[in-house]
Amino acid sequence: MWRRVLVVVSLLAMTVLAAPTAAHPQTLSYGAFRLVKASPAVTAAPEIILPDGYTRVAGEKFQVPSRAEYYSFVEGPRATSVRVAVRWPGVDVAAVVSGKSRLPLTREPDGTVSFTIPVTGANTNALQNTLQVWTFPSPSTASGVHWRIEHNDRDRVAGVWNSVAWPAAATKTFIHLLVACDAILRDSGLAGEAQRRGHFFSLMGFETNNTLHSDNPPHWHLAYYPGLTYSAPRAHVPHFWMDSTGKTFYNGMDVQGEGRSRYYAGDPAPIEDAEGNLVVTLTIRADGGLDIEPPNGPLYSITAPGGAFTEKVHVHRDGRPWRWFGGTDDVKSGLMTLRAGSLAPPAHKEATVYWYDELTGVIESVTRY
């Protein structure tokens, strides 16, 4: 009899041990995609059909309309290929993007569009690259300067950008400033020294379509990371705010682990390495430009002819005319041109032309003149 009881108890124990595998749900994973309209227009939201076990992430941050697009986040069991179907009456879906890829589409006679996406993200923040239309003129932190240009399109505005005026001047100006700063960092030797030490400067603008990153008000960055990654300790990250004409007027500088310091025109803002040694001093000018001063000089002053930062910028080196910089970006065609020239003899002009995928920012070709 006791033998029977032991057998029954053993079987029950096996059942209890096996049960959690079936009873506990899998950890959620996440996917994201952007539906791109053939023509920008205000439209109703699409109907999105998902397989059993998958749902759309709830909330206006994760189901986002714009004139040009609609983007959506999905959650469910981890899978490398999840089939999504979309019905969108009256709307021609020109393309679907996930990550940095245009997805193959299947079009049904009734107008339904279907495609597959990976649902492998650990969280929604990990999938922001689906939303980010960025180009990287210098893509490696190991070069000493890592910088990107955000391709902002007023037809793709989302979140807070729907409630403010389109920052036309700022979207032009930040490109001129980044081109100028890249040249200054290299000419001054700051970029070379950062590279030698395994550090880097980071040049960035701002984005107007990402509800997971409310990048407002318009601003730009000339940051320093004492390491090779964006998690480097005591990184100094200035946020240079621009007004409606494109002039810089405020620097909210974050120092990792120390909070934010505030600087205005005329206030020297020191950038230091992890040991507290001075790397460079940044000072907003009264004219809306910026002074960049390495510890041993020379002093570089970014100004604008006639005060119009939206056209191009001039740079003086130790008070003498040096070079001018500018850029144009056709976000609809995926064509960006960065230009530079001399302000003093001998005369010199140069340009770099980038053709990029207008839906992802990925560079397709580069030509230098």
Which SS3 state, helix, strand or coil, does residue 340 take?
strand
pTM beyond cutoff 0.95: no
Angle at 92 between CA 168 and CA 81, to 5 degrees: 95
CB neighbour list of residue 62: distance below 8 Å, 6 or more residues apart: 56, 72, 73, 124, 211
Residue 147: is it exposed, middle or buried by C-beta count within 10 angstroms (0-12/13-18/19+)? buried
- Spatial strand order in the sheet of 200-204: 134-138, 145-150, 200-204, 219-225, 236-242, 248-255, 259-264
Looking at residue 25, its pLDDT comes to 53
Bridge-partner residues for 30, per DSSP?
Answer: 75, 121
On the question of pLDDT at 214 being above 90, the answer is no
For residue 365, the tally of other CB atoms under 10 A from its CB is 8
Whole-number mean pLDDT of the chain?
Answer: 93
On the question of pLDDT at 18 being above 90, the answer is no
Q: pLDDT tens-digit profile of 101-155?
A: 999 999 999 999 999 999 999 999 999 999 999 999 999 999 999 999 999 999 9
- Dihedral, CA atoms, 123, 124, 127, 129, nearest 10 degrees? -140
On the question of pLDDT at 250 being above 60, the answer is yes
DSSP 181: H
- Spatial strand order in the sheet of 47-49: 47-49, 79-87, 113-119, 106-107
On the question of pLDDT at 13 being above 60, the answer is no
On the question of pLDDT at 24 being above 50, the answer is no
Q: pLDDT tens-digit profile of 181-192?
A: 999 999 999 999
Q: pLDDT tens-digit profile of 292-316?
A: 999 999 999 999 999 999 999 999 9
Give start and end residues of each alpha helix (H) in 157-288. Answer: 168-188, 190-197
Pairing of strands 300-303, 290-293: antiparallel
Tell me the C-alpha distance between 62 and 220, whole Å: 26
CA distances from 150 to 137, 147, 252 (A): 11, 10, 20
For residue 62, the tally of other CB atoms under 10 A from its CB is 18
CA distances from 80 to 116, 117, 329 (A): 9, 7, 35
Tell me the C-alpha distance between 355 and 334, whole Å: 6
Q: Which of 14-18, 124-128, 225-229, 321-325 has the lowest mean pLDDT?
A: 14-18
The predicted model gives 201-227 an average pLDDT of 96
On the question of pLDDT at 7 being above 50, the answer is no
Nearest in space to 176 (alpha carbons), one of 343, 334, 339: 339
On the question of pLDDT at 342 being above 80, the answer is yes
Q: Supply the DSSP string of 86-118, one letter for each residue.
A: EE-TT--EEEEEETTEEPP-EE-TTS-EEEEEE
On the question of pLDDT at 344 being above 80, the answer is yes
